[in-house]
Chains A and B, each alone.
Chain A
Amino acid sequence: DAGVIQSPRHEVTEMGQEVTLRCKPISGHNSLFWYRQTMMRGLELLIYFNNNVPIDDSGMPEDRFSAKMPNASFSTLKIQPSEPRDSAVYFCASSTRTGGDTDTQYFGPGTRLTVL
Chain B
Amino acid sequence: GESVGLHLPTLSVQEGDNSIINCAYSNSASDYFIWYKQESGKGPQFIIDIRSNMDKRQGQRVTVLLNKTVKHLSLQIAATQPGDSAVYFCAENITPGNQFYFGTGTSLTVIP
Mark A residues whose CB is within 8 Å of B: 4, 31, 33, 38-43, 45, 48, 50, 55-56, 91, 93, 95, 97, 100-102, 104-110
**Contact size range, B:** 20 to 34
Q: Report which of A40, A41, A45, A56 forms a contact with B100, defined as CB distance below 8 A.
A: A45
- Dominant secondary structure of chain A at its interface with chain B: strand
Point out the residues of chain A lying under 8 angstroms from B104, CB to CB: 42
* Contact between chains at A106 and B95 (CB < 8 Å): no
Mark B residues whose CB is within 8 Å of A: 3-6, 32, 34, 36, 42-46, 49, 51, 89, 93, 95-100, 102-105
* Contact between chains at A100 and B95 (CB < 8 Å): yes
Contacts A39-B5, A102-B93 known; A48 to B102 CB distance under 8 Å?
no
B31 to chain A, nearest CB (A): 9
Q: How far is the CA of A40 from the CA of B46 in the complex (A)?
A: 23
Q: Report which of B44, B98, B100 forms a contact with A50, defined as CB distance below 8 A.
A: B98
Residue of A nearest to B6 (CB): A42
Q: How far is the CA of A4 from the CA of B100 in the complex (A)?
A: 18
